[in-house]
């Protein structure tokens, strides 16, 4: 029986959720729902933001497929995550080392929001690896370094999550 792994992509504003989908899809079969950012203080960080669901479908191993559902990070759009949650089996939580001091609190906040398997993609564009002080490294949620310019590093994150999911559904 062929399997479609349905995976949500979550995380705070501008952590790199849309970038994760762009990177692992290689731009193929990927669809985005970005609009100009309305809040002035956020527009300084980036110009567009996901307002609904970014989506890609891709071939996986052994004839299986992966569907990725990228959600908005902003609180006033949290209804989209509520809608995605019943569909997906697990989550990639995307966080950035740009604000490394916030990583641990983000992990705790987001992991508790979604009681399903989670793997953390920690965006480390400077190849610095995972900062040693992050206490969650010691716990049950895997944290993997993710370099958006390297498609394979995103695929490794997905592999780690798929390992946690049942072979049949
Ligand atoms: N290096 C790189 N950065 C990007 C690209 N697209 C967006 N960014 C930046 O990456 C960060 C994450 O953006 P985005 O993926 O839209 O965040 P999201 O809100 O989590 O979906 C922001 O600081 C963007 O300005 C890209 O193609 N390459
Ligand atoms: Mg986005």
Q: Is 11 in the pocket of ligand 1 (CB under 6 A)?
A: yes
- 84 near 22, Cβ under 8 Å? no
Other residues' Cβ atoms within 10 Å of the Cβ of residue 33: 16
Cα(86)–Cα(147) distance, integer angstroms: 29
- pTM for the whole structure: 0.93
Please name the residue that has the structure tokens 């990070």: 73
Phi, psi of 123 (to 5 degrees): -70, 115
- Kindly state whether residue 78 falls inside one of the protein's structural domains: yes
pLDDT values of the chain reduced to their tens digit, one per residue, 169 residues: 789 999 999 999 999 999 999 999 999 999 999 999 988 999 999 999 999 999 999 999 989 999 999 999 999 999 999 999 999 999 999 999 887 788 888 888 898 888 899 999 999 877 677 776 666 655 678 889 999 999 999 999 999 999 999 988 7
Q: Ligand 2 center to residue 34 CA distance, Å?
A: 7
- Kindly state whether residue 169 falls inside one of the protein's structural domains: no
Residue 167 pLDDT: 85
Show the domain range for 67: 4-163
- Kindly state whether residue 168 falls inside one of the protein's structural domains: no
Residue 42 pLDDT: 92
- Kindly state whether residue 88 falls inside one of the protein's structural domains: yes
- Kindly state whether residue 95 falls inside one of the protein's structural domains: yes
- Kindly state whether residue 94 falls inside one of the protein's structural domains: yes
Overall domain count for the chain: 1
Query: Which residues sit with Cβ closer than 5 angstroms to ligand 2, an ion?
Result: 17-18, 50
Q: Is 8 in the pocket of ligand 1 (CB under 6 A)?
A: no
Instruction: Please give the sequence-ordered ranges of beta strands (E in DSSP) within 16-155, or none if there are none.
Output: 30-31, 34-36, 48-50, 54-59, 65-70, 90-96, 118-123, 143-146
Residue 21 pLDDT: 98
> Which residue out of 8, 16, 72 has the highest number of ligand 1 atoms within 8 Å of its CB and is therefore the one to mutate?
16
- Kindly state whether residue 65 falls inside one of the protein's structural domains: yes
Q: Is 97 in the pocket of ligand 1 (CB under 6 A)?
A: no
CATH number of the domain bearing residue 124: 3.40.50.300
Q: Ligand 2 center to residue 99 CA distance, Å?
A: 17
Residue 133 pLDDT: 67
Cα(116)–Cα(46) distance, integer angstroms: 30
> Which residue out of 9, 38, 46 has the highest number of ligand 1 atoms within 8 Å of its CB and is therefore the one to mutate?
46
| Alpha carbon nearest to ligand 1 atom 4, residue | 19
- Kindly state whether residue 81 falls inside one of the protein's structural domains: yes
């Amino acid at each position: 029986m062929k399997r479609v792994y349905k995976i949500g992509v979550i995380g705070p504003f501008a952590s790199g959720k849309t970038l994760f989908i762009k990177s692992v899809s290689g731009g193929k079969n990927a669809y985005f729902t970005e609009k100009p950012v309305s809040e002035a203080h956020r527009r300084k960080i980036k110009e567009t933001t996901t307002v609904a669901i970014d989506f890609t479908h891709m071939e996986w191993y052994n004839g299986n497929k992966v569907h990725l559902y990228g959600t908005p990070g902003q609180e006033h759009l949290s209804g989209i995550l509520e809608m995605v949650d019943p569909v997906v089996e697990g989550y990639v939580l995307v966080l950035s080392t740009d604000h490394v001091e916030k990583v641990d609190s983000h992990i705790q906040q987001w992991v508790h929001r979604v009681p399903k398997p989670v793997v953390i993609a920690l965006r480390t564009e400077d190849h610095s690896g995972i900062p040693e002080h992050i206490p969650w490294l010691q716990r049950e949620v895997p944290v993997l370094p993710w370099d958006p310019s390297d498609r394979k590093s995103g695929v490794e994150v997905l592999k780690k999550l798929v390992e946690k999911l049942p072979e049949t559904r």
